[in-house]
Structure 1
């Protein structure tokens, strides 16, 4: 939200109070806090302290490398939840010190220094390197005359917080950017990957992928300079990213206080590791979830015969299938959600699900948190108080999506238990997981939550409670190692309940690019797994779009064939589409030992499987703006093709890269842009120099004993290279291999006992069984 009119003036309806100077700094060494009192004008004498607002800024730290900043005008207001859960390091206290010149708080490698003399200045440094600063006119309390902003759209989107006098208060902070510094993140945003110059409102909405609206808004950004900022407010946060003041990121919230965390690197991966330690790390997901998911699609006609036709068709065409998904119309129209199979098309759901399980498939069912008025559950939920209520005691309803629908109130523990009981019955019938759709259409005006939550805070936070209810049930019933959802809405902390998919995109190359940008932005907010609708959702893709998207989708962490008005089985397009889907499905299954290792990095460090290039190459400024390619794990570069004619431009960082789809070809030198043309069965997929990629012995399913029969493919290992490569177990036992290169010899050894493992170097393969060593001499 903008408050100024150019450099010199505030907007006519804005009365601004800024932290001008420091009156006093007080430190509490035992608590590890530093509190700064900042007058909103220059104080020349005692008389200037009368009738004058004072801004209080408190610095603390929950964990090494993180500084928490709380800006307050009036601190006595009512405090209504919900709030984001932030987990610090138990017993940690930062160091604080005070002298005549400044106060300092140091947390690990991050220091904030607030100067006593002169204009307001709070500078953040990491290991002595300047990161960012809060300068004059950065800390502000803004009183805004309400009528200028109270439009119908603003009210609908929760952009007002009017007091009885028709004025709303906002608190903002502005942190500096240096020339060339790029800003990323802020959730799953489908517009430009670099956020500089953008206005971003953190407000979940069902807006598709073609606008500034987003399903997954996260008030966290990361910069190319190696630090991040998490604004700890679940309500609307308004970001002006070099869009109001060109050299600053401004963020503001309605009310009298603002709290945010500055998170140090020095590398972007370090920032994500610390951020996800605060807000939660993604857990492991079941191995079967990495296989190919096939959907009925949305508004298509289908019954059990259709399902069998699809499953049989995939098997006949040798396309491994892992999950079958039943979309909305497994329930009867006008009754979503009543969690009852439509008997007109699925008269024997238990038998049908059992038959799918016999074929080795998992089953996913579509759900949402709305209860339509025609559903038998509506009156049950209304009478029990399980639906969100209006201020007059009635049930909030509207007709968008489902006629007369109400919204389950997950702040009511009894309502949550009731909702989960309906899902538990589906699990008993044979459903394995749920697509937890929607969660963005959450009202703010005139509604009352069971626990008294602030409706504005609940708007974004609702997705957290909704997915917690669903994912938590799966953990209880299936076990943590076998729990997975396919969720659309989320906010900060939502990464702890994977997987998430990119929502409703069009079926075009442009939408394919939008989807990738959204996934890369979400990954820079700690979300480790991400998927999208192969071929696009709206309309029907032409065969070229489908085939290009299939290669991209099967080189994503999770892969699903899904659409709106048409089926997405590959033979619905052409024979070549079948070949493309077959090839890349088998490829992904063979890469499971490698992908499982990348997934372990998600769980341990919060590093996403699909990585913006800057995560792996932060020192190469050429990658800082790249949003049409990515790293899959730490060693594979993927450049999707966004054109029917196969032309693709991509950038290779330094070193000699190896093409995975064209074995035996010459290495491709990096530090340059490459232009190529690829057939539909290909795309740039290159192995990073100095990497070891474990490839599995099977390509027909994702869940197998990954170490048994594994081949360690070694790429351009430098002399002196030594590394332990851990291959997770899957359905077998894990194994650790030590890989060394000395001179012209590459040696691989293990004390574990995997069956039939091998090593490949420069196209030559040597194999062994059980514990032992294999050596390959280059040039022989």
Structure 2
């Protein structure tokens, strides 16, 4: 949201009131600082009249994290929902201190992160620093008038994500009374916002803010945190997270589930503007000494990711969307995938396992699956697969369970008391109200029934088009706050059912929508992309932005969802897909079985599946680290190499764990990538490239993807014959490969079941190998 018209003016009708002077300190202790800020210099008593005030409080929930709350009118009811903070347990009491370096400055510090509060007349400012590296490194600052409230004419808000989409503009989404729909875009009035500006330094770059498919570096963008079902080709996105990472080594988490807007060097080139509707704004400045440390601390606050079971890392084969799902076709695909050495670990049944118009009835289509329990048992026994079933939280009025949901009050309602319905996606569709404990239990029971029939995991699709106009929740939630947060409740409900059925570290989803904290319920995939190299690149940008927002595990539709890829694109995307944490072949109107794209595609698929299965001791070990620390398995180069200036804009490659650099190929024959400092070794050929340097390879083999091993690394590989990702890694005879060893390296080996380690392997620079609890290849 813009509150200025260039450097000097404001848009007509905008009333902006910013704080310039601390007029009273209310509290000053190790528990925090609270003070009152006036929008003008108070020289005498008359200046205290007819003037608003801002109340600012600063405290710390954990070491290296500062909480800032700015309030105008504090008497309003702060309706939920609210983000769940510290779900893994309360943190240790932070080491805080408060001091007065000079008469006009208060310093409050938590761990290594400090804020200097300037209390001099007409000079109110906040300056944040981090001393983790020894010096007081500058992070960011709020300058005079950088904290404010503003009243904005209604028509100037129409550019916000919440006001421009189908949930506001379609007739079915408008407020209704006596069959009359009120078009809110024609209304007049003022909207109250709270605003905070932070400095954007020279050379500073910003990342994250959820899954974003546009430019990876967010500088110059306005980002609205508002979940939408819009594919991967625009500013709309399924997973909006009000958290960003800065190249200066800090993160900012805005503690508001509703729409938050970030003006990242756009309204003002040297500022990051944060705004929300209402009378209060709360955010956390998160440090720790590095980008990676700030990310760890953010995940500590919002929840660590669950550890997916090892079998989920195998290849998912989907029925695709609008294709035929009959048992003979599906079984034929599994049979031929096995015969062609492209082993499938998970069979995914998309929407049409249910009858058309009946979604989401949770009932198998009897014409396609006359005996679903027998079919699921047979296919799992015959082909050794797990089964994933598609669901969503929308219930068509044609579904057999619709009447029960209406009668018992399980759906969102309008203010009139009628069920909130529209025809987008399914006819007369209602939406489950997860704030109603009875509805939660009912929906969980429907999922449980699927699992009892033999389904192993669930694709929790949708959850973005959640109304915020003329809608009432069972628990009185604020609909604007509930819009994004709905995805958290939906995925939490389903994940808990799967986890209860199969146990801890044995549960996984395939989820599309998310908000802050959604990383606790993996896995997430990138949504509906087209079958082009451009869409493949935008998909990767989305994944990198999501990982910079605390999501450890991620996937995408190999080959693209919409359209049909050409053979070269399919092969390139297969390699990218198998060198992602999770891998799924899925399309819309066409199948993604590799022989549809030529025999070369079959060869590439077989090679990449085998390579991933062999690498599973490494990949699963990195996944345990992600589960324990919050640092994602797939991560942008800037997170791993923040001191390398080239890494700031690298958005077509990533680190796959600590030791592997992966650079998908976005061209039929040409590969471009960057090698950081050191001697990096090609995983496929053994070629060593010394960095830092950019590399271009022409006539790049179609059956390879640039994968380079970091110097001073040891990889432990499973047997060449392995065809499944879930095996006892420590007992199969692992092959030891060393890469440019400079010192002794110890590699821990997971058991492959849960977050347990079986043993370790040590390798000295001279080549001496010792193993404890691990069997090695002879």
* Alpha-carbon distance between aligned partners in 2 of 1:400 and 1:484, rounded to the nearest angstrom: 28
CA contact (8 A) 2:162 2:259 kept: no
Spell out, residue by residue over 1:160-192, the C-alpha distance to the aligned partner (whole angstroms, 9 max, x if none). 999x99222100111111111000000000000
CA contact (8 A) 2:714 2:745 kept: no
CA contact (8 A) 1:587 1:699 kept: no
Residue of structure 1 equivalent to 2:590: 566
Residue 139 of structure 1 pairs with residue 147 of structure 2: yes
Residue 452 of structure 1 pairs with residue 452 of structure 2: no
* Alpha-carbon distance between aligned partners in 2 of 1:102 and 1:691, rounded to the nearest angstrom: 49
Give the secondary-structure state (helix, strand or coil) at the position aligned to 1:661.
coil
Residue of structure 1 equivalent to 2:491: 467
* Alpha-carbon distance between aligned partners in 2 of 1:723 and 1:2, rounded to the nearest angstrom: 52
* Alpha-carbon distance between aligned partners in 2 of 1:380 and 1:620, rounded to the nearest angstrom: 59
Residue of structure 2 equivalent to 1:60: 59
Spell out, residue by residue over 1:525-553, the C-alpha distance to the aligned partner (whole angstroms, 9 max, x if none). 11000000000000111111111100000
CA contact (8 A) 1:221 1:229 kept: yes
Spell out, residue by residue over 1:29-88, the C-alpha distance to the aligned partner (whole angstroms, 9 max, x if none). 36x110121101111211101111111110001000000000000100011100111125
Residue of structure 2 equivalent to 1:198: 221
Residue of structure 1 equivalent to 2:17: 17
Give the secondary-structure state (helix, strand or coil) at the position aligned to 2:266.
coil
Please, what TM-score do these two structures have when normalized by structure 1? Answer: 0.94
CA contact (8 A) 1:61 1:93 kept: no
Residue of structure 1 equivalent to 2:180: none
Could you tell me how far 1:320 is from its partner in structure 2? 1.6
Could you tell me how far 1:429 is from its partner in structure 2? 0.6
* Alpha-carbon distance between aligned partners in 1 of 2:539 and 2:309, rounded to the nearest angstrom: 24
CA contact (8 A) 1:161 1:169 kept: no
Residue of structure 1 equivalent to 2:360: 337
- Shifted more, 139-148 versus 319-328: the winner is 139-148
* Alpha-carbon distance between aligned partners in 2 of 1:216 and 1:533, rounded to the nearest angstrom: 16
Residue 722 of structure 1 pairs with residue 744 of structure 2: yes
Residue of structure 2 equivalent to 1:655: 678
Residue 754 of structure 1 pairs with residue 774 of structure 2: yes
Residue of structure 1 equivalent to 2:32: 33
Give the secondary-structure state (helix, strand or coil) at the position aligned to 2:311.
helix
* Alpha-carbon distance between aligned partners in 2 of 1:288 and 1:59, rounded to the nearest angstrom: 45
CA contact (8 A) 1:282 1:602 kept: yes
* Alpha-carbon distance between aligned partners in 2 of 1:407 and 1:283, rounded to the nearest angstrom: 27
Residue of structure 2 equivalent to 1:121: 125
**Which segments of 5 or more consecutive residues in structure 1 lack a partner in the other structure?**
759-766, 768-780
**Which segments of 5 or more consecutive residues in structure 2 lack a partner in the other structure?**
169-182
Give the secondary-structure state (helix, strand or coil) at the position aligned to 1:10.
coil
* Alpha-carbon distance between aligned partners in 2 of 1:317 and 1:305, rounded to the nearest angstrom: 18
Spell out, residue by residue over 1:690-723, the C-alpha distance to the aligned partner (whole angstroms, 9 max, x if none). 11122122531001111221123211111xx133
- Provide closer, same or farther for how the CA distance between residues 413 and 18 of structure 1 changes in structure 2, counting only shifts above 3 A: same
Spell out, residue by residue over 1:70-114, the C-alpha distance to the aligned partner (whole angstroms, 9 max, x if none). 000010001110011112524336222345221111110100010
Spell out, residue by residue over 1:398-452, the C-alpha distance to the aligned partner (whole angstroms, 9 max, x if none). 0010000000000001001001111111111100010000000100111100000
* Alpha-carbon distance between aligned partners in 2 of 1:188 and 1:295, rounded to the nearest angstrom: 23
What is the Cα-based RMSD across aligned positions, in Å?
Answer: 1.8
Spell out, residue by residue over 1:446-471, the C-alpha distance to the aligned partner (whole angstroms, 9 max, x if none). 11000000000000000000001100
* Alpha-carbon distance between aligned partners in 1 of 2:293 and 2:683, rounded to the nearest angstrom: 29
Residue of structure 1 equivalent to 2:451: 427
Could you tell me how far 1:150 is from its partner in structure 2? 5.5
* Alpha-carbon distance between aligned partners in 2 of 1:748 and 1:80, rounded to the nearest angstrom: 60
Residue of structure 2 equivalent to 1:79: 78
Spell out, residue by residue over 1:240-268, the C-alpha distance to the aligned partner (whole angstroms, 9 max, x if none). 00001101111100000000000003111
* Alpha-carbon distance between aligned partners in 1 of 2:210 and 2:159, rounded to the nearest angstrom: 26
Residue of structure 2 equivalent to 1:484: 508
Please, what TM-score do these two structures have when normalized by structure 2? Answer: 0.94
Could you tell me how far 1:25 is from its partner in structure 2? 2.3
- Shifted more, 677-686 versus 425-434: the winner is 677-686
Residue of structure 2 equivalent to 1:366: 390
Match of 1:252 among 275, 281, 300: 275
CA contact (8 A) 1:80 1:453 kept: yes
Could you tell me how far 1:151 is from its partner in structure 2? 8.1
Give the secondary-structure state (helix, strand or coil) at the position aligned to 1:670.
strand
- Provide closer, same or farther for how the CA distance between residues 225 and 563 of structure 1 changes in structure 2, counting only shifts above 3 A: same
Give the secondary-structure state (helix, strand or coil) at the position aligned to 2:697.
strand
Residue of structure 1 equivalent to 2:266: 243
Could you tell me how far 1:600 is from its partner in structure 2? 1.2
* Alpha-carbon distance between aligned partners in 2 of 1:643 and 1:400, rounded to the nearest angstrom: 37
* Alpha-carbon distance between aligned partners in 1 of 2:678 and 2:740, rounded to the nearest angstrom: 9
* Alpha-carbon distance between aligned partners in 1 of 2:662 and 2:558, rounded to the nearest angstrom: 16
